[in-house]
Structure 1
Amino acid sequence: MSKIEQYIHAATRENTRRSYQSAIRHFEVTWGGFLPATADSVARYLAEHADTLAVSTLRLRLAALAQWHREQGFPDPTKAPVVRKVLKGIRELHPAQEKRARPLQVEELDRITDWLEGAREKAETRNDRKTLLAATRNKAILLLGFWRGFRSDELCRLQVEFVTVSPGEGMTLFLPRSKGDRQSAGREFRVPALSRLCPVAAYEDWIRLAGIGEGPVFRAINRWGQLSGQSLSPNSISPLLRHLFAESDLAADTGISSHSLRRGFANWASSHGWDTKTLMEYVGWRDVQSAMRYIDTPDPFSRQRIEKSLTAYTSNRLTDNSDR
């Protein structure tokens, strides 16, 4: 691979590259389409999958097809009016409510952490290194993901050489790139050391036990208790959280996913007086709309507000009647 090809390859994130490759395979192999594609064939592809695929998935497939055609020097068929109209019609006839992860509660965080501590103690007694490593790693993932409001991809891209710990104060994490960082300038995140449920102490415990000096922070562990040299996949974080819920005897909840960590912290911070601007700066949201998607109002049905107004109305009405 030439240097130019290396830089072109690096310009696209690995997750995006895999998603686009999968989309192209689905169009060409599974569905039987031909590349380069015509606008009519892309429109037929959308129509035939409108009943089974979400609109967001169809948009991703279009993005993959568009990129393939641009890179190969062909006209982009996804920009044709017929394709746009078909997609608009699908949105009209197949509306879908956005699914949001349920926010993780601090009480649940505490419960799972306690269970992980118990698992660590038992593993040490049995000299079970695999379980000891897994429990220590999972505790660090859970606490760091929650208190920093990280997405799964951010957790999985942390590198030891980009982490600086200030004992008793906190630690600084640097991510060379992240979602929304179009210029790939990187961003620095600060994490506080806490009196309990401490993400810094959990991180230090994990790094010390695993003996990691460089490379990915969070890695897979095989059945013999050996660490992988590669980072965990972002797709593994949601199943991991659901597993921790089940193991710690918390009620099973299909709404739990990796986004539960981010949403959990956002709701905790909002309910404890953080203003939106401070929360946006801490988590890294660039616009209010993105932030509000993660924050649940404490009165979702506006019941308290309406009841308060009704009480005032009833009181005024009684006063008026007594004056007559």
Structure 2
Amino acid sequence: MMPSQSLETYLQAAQRENTQRSYASAVRHFEVTWGGLLPATTDTVAQYLVAHATALSTNTLRQRLAALSHWHQAHGFSDPTAAPIVKKTLKGIQALHPVREKRAEPLQLTAVAHVAAWLDTAIAAADLRGDSAEALRCRRDRAMLLLGFWRGFRVDELVGLQTEHIVVVPGQGMTCFLGRSKTDRQLAGTTYRVPALSRWCPVTATLDWVSHAGLTTGPLFRSVARWGALGTGALHSNSVVPLLRRLFTRAGLASPETYSGHSLRRGFAGWANANGWDVKALMEYVGWKDVHSAMRYIDGTDPFAQARIERGLADKITLHVGHDDG
């Protein structure tokens, strides 16, 4: 009989790795950086919020409270973050220090096409001079760019993909099974269908990377060393945004620093919305569970209502002129 896994192994597996890291960092900030004692009292937690009311955003403070709540529950203590004084303190901070929500700059399809064309040229040049490492990196980056855009993936979803979970469906595209994701609360895994396209094809780009990298199992997207050796582990999610920004800089995109880990998803959502996708279809394709999440990524085709108002003005002027003529 195979030895069973420990209880701690399963408990850790129930929580996403990113969540584990962020919770550990938050608890460390409370205990080491700020000097709070664990287990904490409700007054101490409230004072912690006050001490960071202007330095941290409300969303960050909520994340810190979630981490402290998790620590207390995991260690068998009552949860001080659930106390009314803590909730009122957070509400007061939000009222007195409102913060404008930061939204990722969408990567438009025109920019995707520009970067993809630059990568095609870079790959051809690297192949010609025998620079296998540069050619591999460019093929990886092209696959990440096109797969990330056309599937609306977040960075953590891209780096979570496994080579053995990619299945080609001839004439249609390919499927990608993702074992864990932020929206998969039940940890059941999700299968995404990726279409084969006539231009800027994510399937062709992905299979080209897999073939040249010689991948059969393990993380789909990984590091490429100076001489072309592949890393064994997946790219870290925190490294992908700097990687993409360097790529955008080399390709000549304006203001590459404005793009974030949500730019690919937001760019696709905007493209789909502009091309007539209804919200329900977009939610099903991307994997959003509620309309609020979807609308955060969509800028309407007339965000300032300028066109609608101008049409109304034109109608009023036409009616007025017609009345005067009468």
TM-score range normalised by the length of the shorter chain: over 0.9
The partner residue of 2:176 within 157, 160, 173 is: 173
1:121 has 2:130 as partner? no
* Aligned counterparts, 1:188-227, within 5 A: 188-227=191-230
* Aligned counterparts, 1:58-207, within 5 A: 58-207=61-210
Query: Partner residue of 1:276?
Result: 279
Query: Partner residue of 2:251?
Result: 248
1:3 has 2:6 as partner? yes
Deviation at 1:237, TM superposition (A): 2.1
Which deviates the most, 275-284 or 203-212?
275-284
Query: Partner residue of 2:235?
Result: 232
SS at match of 2:194: strand
SS at match of 1:156: helix
The partner residue of 1:304 within 304, 307, 323 is: 307
Aligned pair count?
323
Query: Partner residue of 1:320?
Result: 323
- The AA in structure 1 aligned to 2:70 is Q
Work out the CA distance in 1 between the residues paired with 2:188 and 2:221. Answer: 23
- The AA in structure 2 aligned to 1:243 is R
Question: Is contact 2:249-2:256 (8 Å) kept?
Answer: no
SS at match of 1:228: coil
Deviation at 1:224, TM superposition (A): 2.9
Which deviates the most, 125-134 or 93-102?
125-134
Work out the CA distance in 1 between the residues paired with 2:171 and 2:212. Answer: 19
Which deviates the most, 89-98 or 268-277?
268-277
Query: Can you list the C-alpha shifts for 1:271-317, whole angstroms capped at 9, x where unaligned?
Result: 11112111111111121111111111111110110010011111111
- The AA in structure 2 aligned to 1:33 is G
Q: CA RMSD in A?
A: 1.3
Work out the CA distance in 2 between the residues paired with 1:240 and 1:313. Answer: 52
- The AA in structure 1 aligned to 2:142 is K
Query: Partner residue of 2:294?
Result: 291
- The AA in structure 1 aligned to 2:57 is A
SS at match of 1:120: helix
SS at match of 2:257: coil
Deviation at 1:133, TM superposition (A): 1.1
Question: Is contact 1:237-1:257 (8 Å) kept?
Answer: no
Deviation at 1:63, TM superposition (A): 0.5
Deviation at 1:2, TM superposition (A): 5.2
Percent identity of paired positions between Structure 1 and Structure 2:
56
Question: Is contact 1:149-1:283 (8 Å) kept?
Answer: yes
- The AA in structure 2 aligned to 1:40 is D
SS at match of 2:233: strand
Query: Can you list the C-alpha shifts for 1:207-231, whole angstroms capped at 9, x where unaligned?
Result: 0111111010000122232111110
Work out the CA distance in 1 between the residues paired with 2:105 and 2:232. Answer: 32
Which deviates the most, 116-125 or 6-15?
116-125
SS at match of 2:258: coil
Deviation at 1:257, TM superposition (A): 1.2
Which deviates the most, 281-290 or 139-148?
281-290
Question: Is contact 1:100-1:255 (8 Å) kept?
Answer: no
Work out the CA distance in 1 between the residues paired with 2:103 and 2:109. Answer: 18
SS at match of 1:254: helix
Query: Partner residue of 1:17?
Result: 20
Which deviates the most, 221-230 or 144-153?
221-230
Query: Partner residue of 2:268?
Result: 265
Work out the CA distance in 1 between the residues paired with 2:65 and 2:71. Answer: 10
- The AA in structure 2 aligned to 1:121 is A
The unaligned stretches of length 5 or more in structure 2 are none
Work out the CA distance in 2 between the residues paired with 1:87 and 1:288. Answer: 26
Query: Can you list the C-alpha shifts for 1:123-173, whole angstroms capped at 9, x where unaligned?
Result: 112221221111000000000000111111111110111110123321011
Work out the CA distance in 2 between the residues paired with 1:152 and 1:249. Answer: 22
Which deviates the most, 246-255 or 307-316?
246-255
Work out the CA distance in 1 between the residues paired with 2:200 and 2:5. Answer: 48
SS at match of 2:117: helix
Query: Can you list the C-alpha shifts for 1:235-279, whole angstroms capped at 9, x where unaligned?
Result: 222212211211011112433112111111111111111121111
The partner residue of 1:56 within 18, 37, 59 is: 59
Work out the CA distance in 2 between the residues paired with 1:57 and 1:299. Answer: 32
